[in-house]
Amino acid sequence: MLWPKKILGEHLTFTNDLNDQIKFVYSDTTGNLFLRQLREEYNLLELIKDCPTDLKKLFEIVNWTSKQWKHSGQNTPSANDALTILKEASEGKRFRCVEYGIVLCSALNSIGLKARVLALKTKTVETEKYGAGHVLTEVFLQDFGKWTIADGQFNLVPFSNGKPLNAIEFQDVIVTGKEIKLCNLNGLVSQKLKNKYLNFVPRYLYYFDVPFDNRQGTVSNKIKIKDKTRLMLVPYGSKNPEIFQINEKIDYCIYTNSIRDFYKIP
């Protein structure tokens, strides 16, 4: 099916170079006290006890995350960790896409899946006053041997050709008009939600950045590379953005045009 022109976006190209200096670190999912508390306090192992695959586990955890609060684009928690966010949500607070990304990432890590928070940015990230970013989670699924995105705010995972998609694959499938399935625990999402999401998300699929250090909980020695905390994937030939929404400096990223750098197997 070809989607309307207004949501297609543009074809992005990247390189396949490999920089051996680019490294990521992920949580010890069995020995991390923070993650243990998270999975025990919220009975996450019980939630996935009948799940035979990583994909089924992902659907359960995305569904659970989406139901912890209703979205608000304005509120922020007192601390940016899953336990704080969930406690304050239980008290009636509502949070942004950022917090869905953090909670989903931590919950996935707590059940043994490697995950990271993925920040998306528009092509015009430097000049927009607001709404220039969206936050998702990416998780490595052993079932498929690849990274895939999951949106905890919208409770969905994108598929094409029977495979879950990472952010770059999702953008490419949208642009080329290939078949897209948006799925969750209950199967295909409604046509209404699908249309809403495919009119919302494509503009954000231009710049992509993730932390080098994806460990959860209190980590005193966060890993940096060249004194930077994140890797940003930039389309080949595009400028490296240095400002977020007019006023905030982007001074925390190493930039790359390489998909191989960005999607190293954990």
Residue 212 lies in domain: 5-262
Q: Does pLDDT of 199 surpass 50?
A: yes
**pLDDT computed for residue 8 by the predictor:** 57
pTM of the model: 0.95
The residue-averaged pLDDT of 223-246 equals 96
pLDDT band for position 2 (50/70/90)? very low
Per the rule left: phi > 0, alpha: psi between -120 and 50, beta: everything else, 246 is left
Query: Which residues are CB-neighbours of 252 under 8 A, at least 6 positions away?
Result: 228, 229, 230
User: How many domains in the chain?
Assistant: 1
| Angle between the N-to-C axes of helices 54-66 and 97-110, in degrees from 0 to 180, rounded to the nearest 10 | 140
Q: How far apart are CA 174 and CA 75, in angstroms?
A: 31
The residue-averaged pLDDT of 16-32 equals 91
Residues in the chain, overall count: 266
Strand 157-160, strand 253-256: pairing: unpaired
Q: Does pLDDT of 7 surpass 50?
A: no
pLDDT in tens, 62-115: 999 999 999 998 889 999 999 999 999 999 999 999 999 999 999 999 999 999
**pLDDT computed for residue 217 by the predictor:** 82
Q: What is the pLDDT of the chain when averaged over all its residues?
A: 94
Query: Which residues are CB-neighbours of 250 under 8 A, at least 6 positions away?
Result: 232, 241, 242, 243, 244
